[in-house]
Structure 1
Amino acid sequence: MEVTTREALEIAVSWLVPGFILSNTIRLLVPFIRWERQEAVLGYLAVGSLFATLRLIGFPIWLTGLVLPLAAGVVLGIVANYFREQVSHFLPLPSTAWDAAFWMRRKPCFVVIVLKDGTVIRGIYGRNSRASSDPDRRDLFLEGILTQDAKGRWRVDPYTIGLWIDGSQIVTIKFIVAKRGDENGERTTS
C-alpha cells in the first residue's frame, strides 16, 4: 500500500494537528501549564486519536481537525481557570512554586517583596498584575505600590501606575489576603 501526499496530510491533520491545537489553546488560557516535549507529542497523539476516531465515523476533517479541538481547548482552559484554586485532576499543576503561587492567585492580594539588596516593596498583585511563566526569565509586574501615610496606614500610591521587578533580585514574596474594605489599599499596621 502506497501513501499519497494527500493521505499523509490527512493522517497528520487527523492525528497530530487536533492535539496540537487543543493543547496550545489550553496553554494560551492557562499559561503556567507546561509539558515536556515527549509528554506534549504523546498528548497530541492521544488527543488526536479521539478526533481521528470521529473522522473515521464520518465527521468532516475541518470539524475534527480544527473546530472541535479549538472549542475543546477553550472550554478546558476556561474550566481550568475557574477551578484553578483546587487540585486539578485533568491538567498538570504548575511545575514550580513560582508558577503555582501566581497561577493559584484568583483574587487580588497584598504582597511584601524583599529584594537581595534588602529593599522591601509593598504592593498589590491583582487582575492587572503579571508574573512571568518563563523559567529562564522570571519577572513580576505589580499593578499598585503601597506607601505608608503619617497615621501608619498603607495606601495605594496615586502617582505610580505599576512596578516591574526583576525576578532574579527577589528573595521572598509574602502574599497577604485583602480583607473586605482593603480594595483601595487602606490597611492600618498593627
Structure 2
Amino acid sequence: MNEVLASIAVAVVSSLAVPVLFTVPGFLLYSAYTRGLRSPEPHDRLFLARTVVGSLIVHSLALPWTFRLIEGLREGTSSAWEFAVWALVVLIAAPVLAGSIAATAVRLRRPRWVAAALDYTALAHHIRTPDAWQWHFSRRRPDFVRVHLKDHRVVLGYLGSRSFAASDPSRRDLFLERQFMPGTGKVYGPPVPSSDGVWINGDEIAFVEFHGAGRQDRGDAGDKEVPGHE
C-alpha cells in the first residue's frame, strides 16, 4: 500500500513539475519586463508562447548549473538544500532580475545603433508602451504641471515621488502631491494653504502641460524656485 501511495505521489509531483518549470520563470520574466505598463490582456496562445519562450531563455542561461545538479543527484552528492537554492534562483530570482534588466535596457536611446536595433525588433520603450500617457509617466520624472480641465479650469501642481498617475486606460486619474495657486499670467503662485495634494478625475482632464522640476517664474518675484520644490 505504501509503495502504491509513493508511486502516486511521484506521478503527481512529476506532472506538476513540468508546467511549473516551463511557465513560472517565463511568467515572472514577462511580468517584470512589463511592470508599470497597462495594455490589453494577451489572448491565451500569446500568453502561453510568451511564458514558454521566457522559461526557455531562463533555463538556457542556467543550463550548466542544472546539468551539474542533475549529475550530482545521480551520484548522490547533491543535497536537498542545493536543489532548493537552484529552484529559488532559477524559478524566481533570475526571471525577475532578467525581466527588470531587459525593461531598463529597452529604454536606452544611445548609442544610435542600439536605438535602431531596438526599434527594428519592436523592443524600444516607446514602442512597447501603448500610449503617450504611460510613456511619459512611466519615466517617473518630477514635474511642475498645469492640468487643463474640460470646463476650462486649470490646476497647478507638483508631480513628485508621492504623486500618482493611473496607468489604467479606462481611468486616467491623477494625484498631485502639491497644489499651487495661480499667479499673474501663466505662472505658479504660492502653495495652497494646508493642502496635502489634489486628486483630479481623469474624465475631466483635457490636456496637461509639463514644465520640468527646475526653476519656474512666480509673477512679481521673478525667476525664483517654486515653493516646496524638492
Is the TM-score greater than 0.5?
A: yes
Provide TM-score, normalisation by structure 2.
Answer: 0.64
CA drift of 1:126 comes to: 1.3
RMSD: 3.3
Do 1:155 and 1:185's aligned partners in 2 also have CA atoms closer than 8 Å? no
State how far apart, in whole Å, the 2-side matches of 1:182 and 1:84 are: 31
Give the share of equivalent positions with the same residue, in percent: 27
Classify the secondary structure of the residue corresponding to 1:177: coil
Aligned pairs, number: 179
Q: Which runs of 5+ in 1 are unaligned?
A: none
Which of 12, 16, 26 pairs up with 1:19?
26
CA drift of 1:94 comes to: 1.6
Q: Which has the larger radius of gyration?
A: 2
Do 1:85 and 1:104's aligned partners in 2 also have CA atoms closer than 8 Å? no
CA drift of 1:67 comes to: 2.9
CA drift of 1:145 comes to: 0.6
Do 1:14 and 1:51's aligned partners in 2 also have CA atoms closer than 8 Å? no
State how far apart, in whole Å, the 1-side matches of 2:105 and 2:197 are: 28
Match of 1:64 in 2: 90
Classify the secondary structure of the residue corresponding to 1:48: helix
Which of 157, 165, 174 pairs up with 1:123?
157
Which of 130, 151, 160 pairs up with 2:195?
160
Classify the secondary structure of the residue corresponding to 2:211: strand
State how far apart, in whole Å, the 2-side matches of 1:161 and 1:80 are: 36
Classify the secondary structure of the residue corresponding to 1:173: strand
Deviations 1:13-41 (A, max 9, x none): 211100112222344xx412547414443
- Say yes or no: does 1:184 pair with 2:227: yes
CA drift of 1:47 comes to: 1.1
Classify the secondary structure of the residue corresponding to 1:16: helix
Q: Is 119-128 or 90-99 further displaced after alignment? A: 90-99
